[in-house]
């Protein structure tokens, strides 16, 4: 979400800069008695004077603006995963912080090291001081009992990796998805 906010901020800045420069050039054009030098202001003014509030174009533009505004507002309510996670014993003398992406990569790598796991994806949810790890692993084979054993092995491997990081009290949810092929 931060990347999208940065991109949108830069885009908005560029648009405002362009509009500001165009308005400044148009103002200078008005001062030298050339009102249509940059924009066809007279034509726009005549069109706006003839446009009624009830025209379909006004309704269409209004609906589009409301939808875009709602989408932007709703995008701000989506939860943003924390950039860093608290680890350690949670006391003030024995606490440290872990980068979220590093925790996700290391948990997925620990899962892939388990025999039969083809790929894994880890996601962290929650707040920086109370977080949980959700992991999805793709395993080979069709045997449900083997998949259940692999799920247990993956959970143990991920818990062991989290313990190495000092995050011993983190809840872990493992979901295993069986793939048809054997590797």
pLDDT of residue 14: 92
pTM of this structure:
0.60
pLDDT of residue 107: 94
Indicate the domain borders of the chain: 2-77, 84-179
Using 50, 70 and 90 to split pLDDT, how confident is the model at 74?
confident
Instruction: Read off the pLDDT of residues 96-112 as tens digits, 9 standing for 90 and up.
Output: 889 999 999 999 999 99
Q: Torsions phi, psi of 165, nearest 5?
A: -80, -10
Can you read off the two tokens belonging to residue 127?
Answer: 């707040």
Query: What is the β-pairing status of strands 172-179 and 84-88?
Result: unpaired
Query: 86: closest CA among 128, 133, 124?
Result: 128
Kind and range of the H or E run holding 88: strand 84-88
The arrangement of secondary structure in 84-179, i.e. its CATH architecture, is 2-Layer Sandwich (3.30)
Answer whether residue 183 shows pLDDT above 50. no
């Amino acid at each position: 979400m931060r990347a999208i906010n940065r991109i949108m901020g830069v885009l908005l800045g560029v648009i405002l800069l362009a509009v500001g420069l165009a308005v400044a050039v148009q103002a200078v054009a008005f001062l030298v008695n050339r009102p249509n030098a940059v924009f066809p202001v007279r034509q726009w003014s005549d069109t706006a004077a003839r446009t009624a509030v009830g025209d379909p174009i006004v309704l269409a533009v209004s609906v589009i603006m409301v939808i875009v505004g709602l989408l932007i507002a709703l995008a701000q309510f989506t939860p943003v995963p924390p950039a860093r996670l608290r680890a350690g014993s949670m006391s003030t003398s024995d606490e440290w912080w872990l980068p979220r992406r590093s925790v996700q990569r290391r948990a997925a790598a620990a899962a892939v090291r388990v025999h039969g796991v083809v790929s894994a994806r880890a996601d962290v949810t929650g707040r920086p001081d109370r977080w949980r790890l959700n992991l999805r692993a793709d395993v080979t084979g069709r045997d449900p009992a083997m998949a259940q054993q692999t799920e247990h092995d993956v959970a143990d491997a991920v818990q062991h990796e989290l313990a190495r990081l000092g995050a011993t009290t983190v809840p872990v949810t493992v979901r295993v998805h069986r793939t048809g092929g054997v590797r």
